[in-house]
Amino acid sequence: MSKKVAIVTGGSRGIGLGIVKCLIKDGFSVMLNGVRPEESVADVMQELKAGGADVAYCAGDISDSSARENIIAATKEVFGALNVLVNNAGVAPKVRDDLLDATEDSYDWVMDVNLKGPYFLTQLAARWMVEQQKADENWTGSIINVNSISATVVSVNRGEYCISKAGLAMVTSLWAARLGEFGIPVYEVRPGITATDMTSGVTEKYDKLIADGLTVTPRWGYPEDVGMAVASLAEGNFPYSTGQAIMVDGGLTLPRL
């Protein structure tokens, strides 16, 4: 195939959809994944296809092993190749509980989706990528984990989320080290305060914090900010930077006096 192929988990809304649109703009074919049934994303898919995009959708919860296998199988069936895996799907705790009140059920759910899911989906994708690389010396590919500033920034009312994101940072490092011999770089993008449905409930809070100087760039981040960073990595513009994290946070984590 002339087009490169990408899988984007959590690709039908929010940051994931922003990533999909940027990849499409750069000429990628894209397999979108999400937990919603196909009929629920029909409008999104129709909009993308109306613009000439080569896209498909595979429903499935990445915390489930059979769903992960199905995502890879569907991509093989529809596109026959894979160049880029974007591990973007993630969840926040359903209730923001103080550490003193947090529950094991919430911890397990967040960790399964945010950490176990991308770890083992990467394993499946990497096996296929290695096969392609061995079969074709001109094949190129990469893996990109969409993480969060919460990998290092503490929020004591959502500890399970922070732990999952800190773990995902290690996932990036591990797979970067393992896949280096095959020339498959692994990157990480860490968004900051980004305007999506996940943050819609705290808009007023962060509007005030941003106005008071929380970020160096005085605005919210947008899905396309993350999308442009991911697309640049996917294009292969940083071949000697495997294992690195790209901050897309408007300078929120920049140390300042």
Domains within the chain, CATH numbers bracketed: 5-195+223-248 (3.40.50.720)
Per-residue pLDDT at 86 exceeds 90: yes
**Active-site annotation holder among 57, 161, 206, 240:** 161
Burial, 152: exposed, middle or buried (Cβ in 10 Å; 0-12, 13-18, 19+)? middle
Q: For residue range 206-228, list pLDDT tens digits in order.
A: 999 999 999 999 999 999 999 99
- How far is CA 178 from its chain centroid? 20
- Residue 228, token pair as written in the block: 């442009």
Q: For residue range 153-190, list pLDDT tens digits in order.
A: 999 999 999 999 999 999 999 999 999 999 999 999 99
Question: Rounded CA gap, 220 and 194, in Å?
Answer: 6
Annotation says 187 is catalytic: no
Average pLDDT score, the chain: 97
Dihedral of the CA atoms 232, 255, 243, 168 (nearest 10)?
A: -100
152-to-43, 173, 232 alpha-carbon distances in Å: 36, 15, 24
**Which pLDDT score is estimated for 200?**
83
